[in-house]
Structure 1
Amino acid sequence: MSSSLFADILDRQLVLDILLDYATPATIFCVSRTCWTARRAVQDYTRRTFNINTHLRRFFTNPISFRCLQARTGTVISGSNALQFLDRSFYSDSDLDLYVYPHHAIDVGNWVMKHGGMEYTFKPILNQHAEFRVAALARPEWSGDEEDEDYKMEGARNLLNFVSADKAKPLTVQIIVTEEAPLETIFKFHSTVVMNAITFRAAYSPFPNLTFEKRASVVIRRSALEFVLDKYRNRGYEILNGLPAIFAKYRGKKSRYMAFFRDRHMDDKLSWVLPLNMDGIEWPTVSRNTPQLAFDPFAVNGWTVCEDDDYEMPAFSHAVVHQDTLTFRYICPVGFFPAIFRNLHELRIGEDEKRRRHPDNRAVWTWYDYALYNHVKELLKPRARIRS
């Protein structure tokens, strides 16, 4: 292709959009590196295409308000909705899945019904109480029937469904109340294709090469239902079920295969982190005595992908960082946990007395999420090699 023809394509937004719509993220990135004109054209394309406010407007009339709610509560979007956003695709029958901490479930549910803008109402599933507040505070007892399998989810304390008033094409927002950190529950899903996430700050894909370049999904749950996997096969993803299938996908190259099995962090070099427009979004303020957070708490999470030789399956290993000096809950590689625990324990000294004096006033407590963020970044720094 001549340079003049290439420049003509870059200058024609409609033509460029059609071409880039069929390109993978890696290809788009490569195009942006060819010249300054291409860089500006790709930046314009990504700004318009990855517009999170436009994406969310299908479910909420005020996406800015919802994203501020995300920042305050640590709510995370995952499942097929996050996949659609990053993949520039659309599934007409998909829901919006929100992963919410237990103490924020009522706040987020009330926001959906009062401020979502689509006249959402709470719709009980199976044995749930008809009143939302009662259902939100309860823990469903799954019967074990096949009918329950559509709802039962490992790592979830509760599931709350909200349906819009549109009878022709009703929309569903589902709140998944997590037991611990949202990412821990997300990682209990069937395979890697649905392990993407959207926070108030960024969209994350921990396995972008596998998902968007290879169009493949690694099965993590041994009990993954075949009809669920078939749904993603029909959407164009190759399902890799078992270690031999993964090895074959990497063309039998041990080094590439083993690169999949390692310690990971949500914003490491293997992840795709897509920053979102922050106009109108307030960074989290967790108390009067704690500085406003200047980072996305979700990015602090880490884990290890390991081989489960007993079942010839990959498995995720992690430790839950659950301290009452942290606003949010996190997961980390097991090897990181002792150092993190010691650091947080030292910070807690002196905080206990304040919390005894004000047991019900969380606004005056000091929270140490920023210290965890800094500590994790320090642990991830490459160490200089000592020459003997």
Structure 2
Amino acid sequence: MEYDHIRAVDPDVADALEAEVERERDTLEMIASENFVSEAVLEAQGSTLTNKYAEGYPGERYYGGCEHIDTVESLAIERAKELWGAEHVNVQPHSGSQANMGVYLAVLEPGDKILSLDLTHGGHLSHGHKVNFAGKLYEVEQYKVDPETGYLDYDEIYEHAVEFEPDIIVSGYSAYPRQVEWERIQEAADAADAYHLADIAHITGLVAAGEHPSPVGVADFVTGSTHKTIRSGRGGIIMCDEEYADAVDSAVIPGMQGGPLMHNIAGKAVGFKEALDPEFEEYAAQTVENAKVLAETFQNHGFGLVSGGTDTHLVLVDLRESHEDVTGKDAEEALEDVGIVLNANTVPGETRSPFVASGIRAGTPALTTRGFDADDIERVGDLIARTINHIDDDDVKAEVAEEVQALCDENPLYE
């Protein structure tokens, strides 16, 4: 990739950008929330739309000169409606967290109640963690997964909802490897007379491709990120029935932000068009298959998995079951040394700090985008296990690093 114009103005930034391209090419990206967008999406996000303010919505802008902006945003909205079957879509949130904020502002008042999954059990900061805006503005209680099975306990969620009487229940998670039964969460919401927000940030692409059941038409609100399994412009999205459209749109602007990032919305539009191609369904299916193979490979090496496997794009390893003295951070750093990038992650029953953690989270979206098939993923799983099993052996790590480079060369990125 060329950065000639940047280099002429700012060589330091150009050097960093080129180094990042090389890092992405020469490492195995396995952070479950990351992916590689196409060069078409990159062009859209780096387009002249970054020059334009467009406060408001298509046909109702506060500034002039927005006719082409309106075209792009309208395309993004219509394509999202087709992908997920939603009645109303807002593509302006800058992130999945801001999409959640938009829903909260639309229907909650400060001090209202949120019921959501505990962060250490797979929830997200924006679902009500005490250090996040949601935890500071609202009263939050959290449910957990079953400590024995690693699965959501829907009966417990129902009982918790009836007792707590939340104003909104949040489903959808950042480190839960199983399919979510949206209807069961909705039953709890109905029993508590609460709204239901389904956050599909991680599984937007899997839902669009039919690889995971959809909460659209079940939950009152569906939010998501647009740069994970859907591989579109970086940002967030809110979907809802038409009855909530005005409240959501007003919450986004003027409620929480001004001008939308139109270059990002252009990236969303292009990425959504790519996702409407039948080949995207093949990609999503391969992503899930690759995650299952990765889970099986880890189990063959004696690693314990939260919930015993996966139905989605990610695998959550509990290192305490096989490597009691190896923390998640130890594993993350050792793997990065050999060119495998994933993250330390808390696990149910966590006793360590989130910065250290007892588990690792590995995802397959980015490697699948590079063309990795099940055989490749099995090799990757073997390399991860080999590194962790010999975490202090520099000779083994050097051998693994060579094999990682070979895999990268066999599946080139941004040629």
Q: TM-score, normalised by structure 2?
A: 0.29
Which one scores higher on RCO, CA 8 angstroms, separation ≥ 6?
2
